[in-house]
Amino acid sequence: MKTQYGQYAGAERLNAGSEPSDQTMAMRTQFRDRSEAGQLLAEKLVAYANRRDVIVLALPRGGVPVAAEVARRLDAPLDLVVVRKLGLPGEKELAMGAIATGGVRVLNREVVDSLRVPDKVIDTVTAQEQRELERRERTYRDDRPPPVVKNRTVILVDDGIATGSTMFAAIAAVRNRGAGCIVVATPTISRGTYEEMREVADEVVAVIVPDAFNGVGQWYADFSQTTDDEVRRLLGSVD
């Protein structure tokens, strides 16, 4: 499946999410680490605790430590939706789009069209990232089947959202598999992406939604890389 970000704008919204309070913003300017961020995020999701229809899906790798705290607090199962950003060649931090498990690809038309990125370049990067996505699937999941999301409330968790490319792909992936309700949950998200994602997900929950957003790492005192081994360990630590 290939789609564009703009095609999500008409998605039905069951709950647009609530604005983080000014008091929260004043008190919280940085998280100690992903574990603390996950604990604070989980407190904003307590309405989903102890519900049999809820499943927490992390975007690896950085989203897994955050999601593990959320899953424990909600007493919900933890699994993954594997995604990969499609970085512009020569400037990989600039996302042309993203791919996700299940053959999903979303493109950021603003970037692709403004830079006149050829289809051949997009397809080449997609093929490269697809190989890495499949490697991560094997590494993290072994022989376990993908999680069942049909008619369930799916809480998608990442450690932070800047442009939202990978989260848009994750949303498309679980919606294609029949998710009943999609909640995007993250410790921090840029203001513009927050507003855009409210048009896509059924609810968006965040601790910090700043107007000035230079990158996810600025909101963490410790933003060290999450390893594949840590992902596997955390997946096994939440029943």
The pLDDT score that the predictor gives to residue 22 is: 41
Pick the CATH number of 2-237 from 3.40.640.10, 1.10.10.10, 3.40.50.2020, 3.40.50.970: 3.40.50.2020
The pLDDT score that the predictor gives to residue 141 is: 82
Q: What are phi and psi of 159, to 5 degrees?
A: -80, -10
Which residue ranges of the chain lie beneath pLDDT 70? 1-28, 239
pTM (2 d.p.): 0.88
The pLDDT score that the predictor gives to residue 100 is: 95
The pLDDT score that the predictor gives to residue 233 is: 92
The pLDDT score that the predictor gives to residue 10 is: 30
Q: Can you read off the two tokens belonging to residue 215?
A: 């990158």
**3-state secondary structure labels for all residues of 61-95:** CCHHHHHHHHHHHHCCCEEECCEEEEEECCEEEEE
CA dist 186 to 5, 9, 49, 116, 126, Å? 19, 20, 17, 32, 26
* CB of 216 closer than 8 Å to CB of 223: yes
Q: Which residue has the tokens 């700043």?
A: 210
Beta bridge partners of 2: 105
Side by side, the strands of the sheet bearing 78-80 are 78-80, 54-58, 153-157, 181-188, 203-208
